[in-house]
A and B are shown apart, each in its own frame.
Chain A
Amino acid sequence: MKKTHPLGKIYAFLIMAFMYIPILIIAVYSFNSSNSTGILTGFSLKWYGELFKDKATLEACYNTIVLAITSAVTATVVGTVAALGIDKMKKSWRRSLLMTITDIPMMNPEIVTGVSMMLLFVFIGTFLKINGILGFWTLFIAHVTFSLPYVILNILPKLSQTNPNLAEAAMDLGCTPGKAVRKVILPAIRPGIVSGFIMAFTLSLDDFIISYFVSGPKFQTLPIRIYSMTKKRVTPDMYALSTIIFVIILIMLIIINMRGLKGNSKAKGRAKA
């Protein structure tokens, strides 16, 4: 590898600065004692205290995590099973039609996905005369729907890399088809399942636009709570919350990265031996 040109280094630094300045501003104002997010007055932790007194925000955090876990698990199960089936389908118009439809939530503008699902739910609501149909279940359905393509697209390549004879060998040796899937195919595609789940989970945690249209006042997620708070002038406790989230993500990524490096050096050691 050649060395990066100094100009390249400066450019990389400028781009990173552009990406991190707003985050720095958030962190600075979260430790600011002033009420407004405009004036710097002095260091204080009071916004972190305020944050833990704010019941609605804490409840929204809890809701977000519950929704992310349930929707990601469901999307991963449905998506894995679907990928097994799609993999067996021949390359025909049926398969490509199914794949096109699966990809729609990924390609469509999020606002259109959100609006279209809202229309369906509202229609069902008026048809069945349910008042306030928008809540946990509509959010759950929406999150599973937009996560499914990511799960399936993470698993399909792993399936096509798996030798189909392995499952047949297992069945010849007396496994039932179900057992062959569990014992042979699933372990082979595990990395795809894991990355699909992680993607579904993080997409759900972070989603605002689709959730905004399919949620009701009874069940708020964190991004929706943040949205309703930024309609007025934001108090710095939102900044405190973001700083906490940022630090958690940073720590998680560092741990994952360190484990990855360790794994790499282990693999290298094995290769040498």
Chain B
Amino acid sequence: MNKNSSLRMKLYASPHIVWSAIFIVVPLIMVAYYSFTNADGAFSLENIYRLSDYTTTFLRSLWYGIIATIICFILAYPIAYIISQSKLRIQTTMIMLAMIPMWMNFLIRTYAWMNILEDSGVINKILTTIGLEPVHMINTPGAVILGMVYNFLPYMILPIYSVMTKLDKNLVEAAQDLGAGKVSVFAKVVFPMSVPGIVSGITMVFVPSVSTFYISQKLGGGTFALIGDVIEMQFQISNNFHFGAALSLVLMILILICMAFMNRFSSNEDVGGGMVI
């Protein structure tokens, strides 16, 4: 009877298994299928050969993604630490404040940045009113990276914060009792313990930054395309699904490699926490 019911419970997973097979696995097979066929449905490597035309675009996307992720980390780590050290009431308010912008539609928020950075936008109006020269900011790589940092910063703050609040205060005290100064408590206890939060923060910022297309369209003005822009164009404008699929396949593999690299790096760090210094 008991075994029977346990077996029946296992069957509960079957609707989900069927659903995942049809709507997760099959679509990925479709991506591969479209990548290796041409418009007539015949096997072809034409799309794969064409990919090399977009090497610069891929590299640019990766590069911007890396810079945005690093800036997010530099901005988010101190704020996560500050929040985790403040009073409980202030903590809840601050975390709420950090989360609210995520609930606003990201298209509108990005569009608002366009209004701020434009040649006749908010910043330049302020500059000219106080008698300074206007600065050209929109449609530059800096504007695109700013858009990425702005949109994805909460994704870096939250996981680092949640690891830091779980950090055992006794460990910090033990380190202090054993004669560690502020710097070495941070370097040997706090930072190594927060690595899991950093890793998930980096993942959560890097993946959407590399694959974005809206931010680069609005803040980059289409002067330089990111890989997301090229994919979007293949599907929505040029209707070349086969080449679009090949680009998506490469993007997916690139991100998988980056993730695997990250995970390796983080698990090494876990083993030798003292290695950080």
Question: Which residues of A are interface residues toward B (Cβ below 8 A)?
Answer: 1-2, 4, 8, 11-12, 15-16, 18-23, 25-26, 29, 37-38, 78-79, 81-82, 84-89, 98, 101-102, 104-105, 107-113, 115-120, 122-123, 141-142, 144-145, 148, 152, 168, 171, 177, 181, 202, 206, 208-209, 212-213, 222-223, 226-227, 230, 234, 238-239, 242, 245-246, 249-250, 253, 257, 260
Can you name 7 A-B residue pairings with CB atoms under 8 Å?
A: A12-B83, A23-B104, A85-B12, A111-B231, A234-B111, A245-B103, A257-B96
Contacts of A245 in B (CB 8 A): 103-105
CA distance A237 to B228 in the complex (A): 28
Q: Are B16 and A82 in contact (CB under 8 A)?
A: yes
For residue A118, which residues in chain B have a CB less than 8 angstroms away from its CB? 235
Q: Which of A1, A23, A109, A142 contacts B109 (CB 8 A)?
A: A23
A253 and chain B: residue at smallest CB distance: B96
What number of A-B contacts does a CB cutoff of 8 Å give? 222
Interchain CB contact under 8 A, A19 and B5: no
B171: interface (CB < 8 Å): no
Question: Is B30 within 8 A of A123, CB to CB?
Answer: yes
Contact B104–A246 (Cβ < 8 Å): yes
The answer to whether B16 and A109 have CB atoms under 8 Å apart is no
Given A11-B79, A88-B12, 11 further pairs, Cβ under 8 A = A2-B85, A12-B83, A37-B115, A101-B24, A108-B255, A115-B235, A115-B244, A145-B19, A177-B8, A206-B106, A213-B235
- Interface residue ranges, B against A (CB under 8 Å): 1-2, 5-6, 8-17, 19-21, 23-28, 30-31, 34, 75, 78-79, 82-83, 85-88, 92, 94, 96-98, 100-101, 103-109, 111-113, 115-116, 118, 120-122, 150, 153-154, 203, 207-208, 210-211, 213-214, 218, 228, 231-232, 235-236, 241, 244-245, 248, 251-252, 255, 259
Q: How far is the CA of A113 from the CA of B211 in the complex (A)?
A: 11
A82/B112 in contact, CB under 8 A = no
- Bound Cα distance A245, B108 (Å): 11
Residues of B contacting A206 in the complex (Cβ-Cβ under 8 angstroms): 103, 105-106
The answer to whether A148 and B116 have CB atoms under 8 Å apart is no
Neighbouring B residues of A110 by C-beta, 8 Å: 208, 211
Q: In the assembled complex, which residues on chain B have CB atoms less than 8 Å from the CB atom of A122?
A: 241
Known: A111-B228, A116-B27, A250-B100. A226 touches B107 (CB 8 A): yes
Whether B120 lies near A38 (C-beta < 8 A) is: yes
Residue contact B115 to A11, C-beta cutoff 8 Å: no
Q: Is the CB of B118 within 8 A of A208?
A: no
Who on chain B is nearest to A119 by CB?
B30
B108 and A238: CB pair below 8 A? yes
Specify which of B21, B31, B98 is in contact with A112 (CB 8 Å cutoff).
B31
Complex contacts, B31 vs chain A, CB 8 Å: 112, 115-116, 119
User: In the assembly, what is the distance between CA of A139 and CA of B186, in Å?
Assistant: 47
Contact status A79-B16, CB under 8 Å: yes
